[in-house]
Chains A and B, each alone.
Chain A
Amino acid sequence: LAKTTQPISMDSYEGQEVNITCSHNNIATNDYITWYQQFPSQGPRFIIQGYKTKVTNEVASLFIPADRKSSTLSLPRVSLSDTAVYYCLVGGLNTNAGKSTFGDGTTLTVKP
């Protein structure tokens, strides 16, 4: 069971780039890394997923070093609406992924 560790909270200002790091020292060979965003009173929603190196989509980038023991979610030019809790989830596809844990997440507060 891949346990993850993230900072409890982070503050930023509008227009800045935010990097949130997740540690997952016991990641397994077939595990993927997925990040979710959760707003108050809503369910989490998918942001990005990757296995190694770098993945980019329209909202974020995900950087994964060669040893895969950590990953960094990068949010470019954040706005007030990016204030949310961000979760890193590690788990394998079609394996024991049901045992993956969300952890407590990182509360990002974006200030004007």
Chain B
Amino acid sequence: NAGVTQTPKFQVLKTGQSMTLQCAQDMNHNSMYWYRQDPGMGLRLIYYSASEGTTDKGEVPNGYNVSRLNKREFSLRLESAAPSQTSVYFCASSVDRGETQYFGPGTRLLVL
């Protein structure tokens, strides 16, 4: 049981480049989440998916898009990266909305 996995672990982008952060869970959870964490700050919710086939905006959705590919996978896409998107990105999953969230190890993104 790997839990929540994220790829890549670390990425450097130039301003304007695009990329997709991948997240997968093997716990058969219905709900999945994407957060960002800036240095010394708490986590801020970008998007979440309450169940397969649904997605909804969180606190800071601007500049991001998501896809709930299937029950296991939830990807986050940056269409045109900006330095302000330099952060650590965490994916999480839970059995259902509001239940205990299980987090992945994070993706460290640096946008130059």
A binding-site residues for B, Cβ under 8 Å? 32, 34, 36, 41-46, 49, 87, 91-105
Contacts and interface: CB of A to CB of B under 8 A. Distances in A.
B96 interface: yes
Tier of interface size on chain B: 20 to 34
8 contacts: A41-B106, A43-B105, A45-B102, A91-B98, A94-B98, A97-B99, A98-B45, A101-B45
A43 B105 CA distance: 5
Interface of B: 4, 31, 33, 35, 41-45, 48, 50, 56, 58-59, 90, 92, 96-106
Given A93-B97, A95-B97, A102 B42 contact: yes
Contacts of B103: 42-45
Contacts of B99: 93, 97
A94 B92 contact: no
A93 B106 contact: no
Given A103-B42, A104-B41, A98 B100 contact: no
Contact of B45 (A45, A49, A94, A99): A99
B43 A42 contact: no
Contacts, number: 67
Residue of B45, B56, B100 contacting most chain A CB atoms (<10 Å): B100
A103 B98 CA distance: 16
Contacts of B97: 93-98
A94 B43 contact: no
Nearest to B41: A104
A96 to B, nearest CB: 8
Given A91-B98, A92-B98, A98 B48 contact: yes
B42 A105 contact: yes
Q: 10 smallest A-B Cβ distances: which pairs?
A: A43-B103, A97-B98, A93-B98, A98-B48, A104-B42, A102-B43, A97-B97, A102-B42, A46-B100, A43-B90
B58 A98 contact: yes
B101 to A, nearest CB: 7
